[in-house]
Structure 1
Amino acid sequence: MTTTDSATPTGTSARPEAQRRVLTVLVTSQILSGAGLAAGVTVGALLAQDMLGSTDLAGLPSALFTAGSALAAVAVGRISQIRGRRPGLAMGYLTGAVGSAGVIAAAVADNPVLLFIALFVYGAGTATNLQARYAGADLAVPAHRARAVSTVLVATTLGGVVGPNLAAPTGTLAGTLGIPTLAGPFLLSGTAYALAALVLAVWLRPDPLLLARRLDREQRTEAPPAEAAADAGPDLAPARRPRLMLGALTMILTQLVMVAIMTMTPVHMHDHGHGTAASGLVIAIHVGAMYLPSPLTGWLVDRYGRTVIAVASGLTLLAAGITAAVAPAESVGLLALALALLGLGWNLGLVSGTAMITDAVPLATRAKTQGLVDVSIAIAGATGGLSSGLVVAAAGYPVLALTGGVLALAVLPAVAATASSR
C-alpha cells in the first residue's frame, strides 16, 4: 500500500485501484461530516430564535454558516489547486470543528454576537462536505463521473440521518454538562468534523487531484503532438462555457430554494407546537432524501444526460414547494413529504450540475474553478437563509415555500438557452 502520491505506479493502470481507495476514504469521512452538518442545521435557527426572542432573524444562522461556506469554498479550492485535495479538505473540516466549539461557547455565554461569528466559521464544514464530491470525480472516467460523485454524496446519508435524531440526546448530554440544551448537537458536530479531518489527513493517499494531473500529463506526452496541444491549454474552450454556466446555475437555484425552505421548516413546526424530536425527524428525512438517492441519480445522469436531470430537479423542487405550502401545520407527515421532495430536487440538481462543471473544466484549473462555483452556490444559500426569515415574518411559511418552488423553474429556460447556443 502506498503512503505518498509520488509512490503511485505510473500509467493509466494506477487509476482504477487509486479511485477505489480514494472513494473508500471519502465515504468514511463523509459519514462523519454528514453527522456534523445535519446536527447543526437542525437547531441553528432555533438557537438564534431563543437568544433573540424573535423569528425575524431566525434565518440568519443559516445565512451566516452558508456565507462562511462561501469563504471556505474559496480557501479549500485554492489549497486544493496548489497542494491537492487532502490538505484542502482536512483544513476545511478542522475549521468547521472550531466553529462548532465557538457556538457552544456562545450558548454558554448567551452572547448572540459570538454565536453569529461562530456560525460563520462553522460554515467551513458545509463547504468542505460539498467540495469532497469533486474529489470523487477527479480520477473517474467521463462516462462514470456522475456515479463517482453520487458515491461520495450518498455516504453523507448515514451521518446526515443519524445527526438530527441525536438532537434530543445530545441536548440532554449538554444539560448535564451545564451547556444550553439547544447547543447540544454542536458537541456532535465538532467531534464529527474533527474526526473527518483526521481520516482525510492520514488516509487520503494518493491525492486524487495530484494523481489525475500526473496521469493526464503522461497521457499527453504519449499522444500525437496535435492532440496534446489541443488538450494542454488551461483556458476554457468556448464550446464548454455554456455547460459551465448551466451547471453553476442549476446548483445555485437548487441551493437557494432548498436552504430557504429547509431553514424555516423547524421554526414553522416549533411555532405550531412541535418539539425538537419532530423537527429532527423531518430534517433527518430531508437530509436522507438529499443524499440517499445519489447512486440512482448518478446512473440517471450518466445514462440520460446532464440537462434532462437538471430539468427534473426544477420540477421536483416545484412539487416540494407546493406540498409544503398546502400542508397543514399540524401534519408532520406532509411536511416530511415536502422536505423529502426538497432534498430529492436538490440531489438531482447537485449531481447533474457537478457533472456539467467537471466535464467543462480542464484539470489544470479544475479545483480553483470548482471552488469559485461553490462560492456562488454558498452565496445563493446565504441569500435563501437570510431572506427566508423575513419572508415568513412578512407573509408566512406557505408563501415562502410556494415562491421557492416557482423560482426553481428558472432552470428550464436556462436549459433551453444552452441547447440553442450549441
Structure 2
Amino acid sequence: MSAPPTAPSTALDRRLRDQRRIVRVLALATVLGGLGVGASLSAGALLIADVTGNDALSGFGPTMNGLGAALAGIPLARLAARTGRRIALASGNIVAVLGAALVIFAASQRISVLLFIGLAVLGVAVAVQLQSRFAAADLALPERRGRDLSLVVWSITIGAVTGPNLIGPGADLGEALGLPGLSGIFLFTIVAQLAAAGVVWFGLRPDPLLEARRIAAAGVAPPVAPEPQASPPVPPPTVSAMPQFLAIALIALAHAVMVGLMAMTPLHLTHHGGSITLVGFTISIHIAGMYAISPVFGMLTGRFGAIPVVLGGFAVLTLAAVGTGFGGSDVVIIQVALVLLGVGWSAVTVAGATLLTDLTPAPLRPARQGQSDTTMNAAGALFGAVSGVIFAAGGFPVLSAVAGALIVLGIAATLRLAVLARR
C-alpha cells in the first residue's frame, strides 16, 4: 500500500503549479508591453529628427528611452521589495502610458523638450520588461531558473517585432486624427500598456516575490536541528560582491553595444535611399533576433553554465560589429548584422541575468537586479547619445570600431568573472 503524499511534495507541486501560471501571466503582459516598446524604438529616432530638423539628435530617441528605464530600475525594484512584483510592474505600465501621451502631445505641438521627456518617461516600459524576467525567476526552482526567465524574454518577440511594422498604420491613424504621422504609432503604445497593466494586476496572483519569501520563511525552521537565523537576513561575510558587479558590468556593456548600433541603423538606411518600410522591417528582424531564440540560451545556460553562453554572445556581437562596420550600402549585410546584434545581446542578457541571480544571496536579489537594470539602461542611454555624434563624424565604420572596444571590455569582464568563479 503506497504511502500518502507528504507535505513537502504537496508544497512542491503547488509551487510548480503557481510558477507555471506566473510565467504565463508574465508572458502575456510582456507580449503587450513589447508592442509599445518596439513601436517607440523604431519611431523615436525618426520623430526626433522630424521635430528638431537635426539628424544628429536622432540618437537621443533610444537614449531617452534608455535613460527613463535606467532611472526607473532601482525605484521599481524597491517598490517590488516593499509591495511585491504585481504592484511594481502594473505601476510601471501606467507611467509608460503617461509617457506615450506626452510624446503625442509634444509631437503635435512640435515641442522638442517635451518630446525628449516623453520618450524618457515611456522608457519605464523597458524597465518593466526587464523586471518581468526577474519576476519569472523569483519562484522558479534553481535548475529551471534560466529556462523560465528566458521564456518571458522570448515572449517580448511577438509585440516587439510587430511594433515597428505599425509605423505605417500608425501614421495613417495619426493623420486621420490630425496628428503628426510618426506620432500615431504611440496611440497603439497607450492601448498596449494599459492592457499589460490589467493583465499583471488581475493575473499575477500569487505575487512571485512575496510567495518566494513566504516559502523561504516557512522553511526557516526545519524539523531537525534548526540553525539560528540572523535578523534581518544578510549575506554571509565570505560572499564577495565583486562577481555580482562583474555580472552587472558585462550585461551593461552588451546592452550599450546593441543600443548604439541599433539606434543609428534607421539613419544609415535612409541615407542610402531606404524607405520607412525598409527601416521598420530591419528593426523588426533585429528585435526578432533579440528575443525569438532566447529560450535556447536559457537551456544552454542550464546545461553548460552561464559563462560559456555569455562568451558566445560576445562573439556574435563581434560579428555584428564587423557587419555594420563594413556593410556600407548593402542592405542585406546590414540586416544580417542587425539580426546577429540581437542574437548576441540575447545570449548575454539571458545568461547574464541568470548568472546575477545565482551569484546574489536571496535577500539582496531585488536590489542587485534593480542596480543591473539601471546600469544597463544607463550604459545604453549614454552610448546611444554618443552614437549620433560618432555616426555624424565617421558613419557606421567608426561607430562599429567603438562598439568593438566595448565588446573587448565585456569579454575581459567575463573572463575575470570565470577566474573568480573557479576560486
Q: Give yes or no for TM over 0.5.
A: yes
Q: Does 1:140 align with 2:143?
A: no
SS in structure 2 at match of 1:157: helix
SS in structure 2 at match of 1:328: coil
| Offset at residue 26 of structure 1 (A) | 0.5
Tell me the equivalent position of 1:251: 251
Distance 1:16 1:71 in 2: 34
> What amino acid is aligned across from residue 67 of structure 2 in structure 1?
A
Q: Does 1:205 align with 2:205?
A: yes
Tell me the equivalent position of 1:360: 359
Flag the 1:219–1:12 CA change in 2: closer, same or farther, 3 A. Answer: farther
| Offset at residue 338 of structure 1 (A) | 0.6
1:393-408 map, 5 Å: 393-408=392-407
| Offset at residue 71 of structure 1 (A) | 1.4
Tell me the equivalent position of 1:4: none
Tell me the equivalent position of 1:281: 281
Q: TM-score, normalised by structure 2?
A: 0.94
| Offset at residue 170 of structure 1 (A) | 1.1
Tell me the equivalent position of 1:127: 127
| Offset at residue 228 of structure 1 (A) | 6.2
Output one character per residue of 1:134-154: Cα deviation in whole Å (capped at 9) or x when no partner. 000011111111111101000
**8 A contact 2:250–2:414 mirrored in 1:** no
Q: Does 1:388 align with 2:384?
A: no
Output one character per residue of 1:301-337: Cα deviation in whole Å (capped at 9) or x when no partner. 11111111111111111110001111132x3221111
> What amino acid is aligned across from residue 274 of structure 1 in structure 2?
G
Aligned residue pairs, count: 413
Q: Does 1:49 align with 2:49?
A: yes
Tell me the equivalent position of 1:23: 23
**8 A contact 1:240–1:360 mirrored in 2:** no
Tell me the equivalent position of 2:5: none
* Identity value in percent: 36
Distance 1:385 1:194 in 2: 28
Segments of 4+ moved more than 6 angstroms: none
| Greater alpha carbon shift after TM alignment, 237-246 vs 71-80 | 237-246
| Offset at residue 35 of structure 1 (A) | 0.7
| Greater alpha carbon shift after TM alignment, 395-404 vs 274-283 | 395-404
Output one character per residue of 1:237-276: Cα deviation in whole Å (capped at 9) or x when no partner. 5445343123211210111000000111011112222111
Q: Please report the RMSD computed on the Cα atoms of aligned residues, expressed in angstroms.
A: 1.8
Tell me the equivalent position of 1:411: 410
**8 A contact 2:307–2:418 mirrored in 1:** no
| Greater alpha carbon shift after TM alignment, 232-241 vs 380-389 | 232-241
Distance 1:105 1:305 in 2: 47
| Greater alpha carbon shift after TM alignment, 284-293 vs 267-276 | 267-276
Q: Does 1:86 align with 2:86?
A: yes
Distance 1:265 1:342 in 2: 12
> What amino acid is aligned across from residue 341 of structure 2 in structure 1?
L
Flag the 1:226–1:401 CA change in 2: closer, same or farther, 3 A. Answer: farther
| Offset at residue 409 of structure 1 (A) | 2.3
Flag the 1:217–1:162 CA change in 2: closer, same or farther, 3 A. Answer: same
Flag the 1:344–1:48 CA change in 2: closer, same or farther, 3 A. Answer: same
Structure 2: which 5+ residue stretches go unaligned?
1-8
Output one character per residue of 1:135-181: Cα deviation in whole Å (capped at 9) or x when no partner. 00011111111111101000000111111111111111111111111
**8 A contact 2:254–2:410 mirrored in 1:** no
Tell me the equivalent position of 2:161: 161
Distance 1:176 1:291 in 2: 33
Tell me the equivalent position of 2:303: 303
> What amino acid is aligned across from residue 305 of structure 1 in structure 2?
G
Distance 1:317 1:285 in 2: 16
Q: TM-score, normalised by structure 1?
A: 0.94
Tell me the equivalent position of 1:373: 372
Distance 1:386 1:276 in 2: 22
Structure 1: which 5+ residue stretches go unaligned?
1-8
Distance 1:408 1:237 in 2: 33
1:184-223 map, 5 Å: 184-222=184-222
> What amino acid is aligned across from residue 45 of structure 1 in structure 2?
A
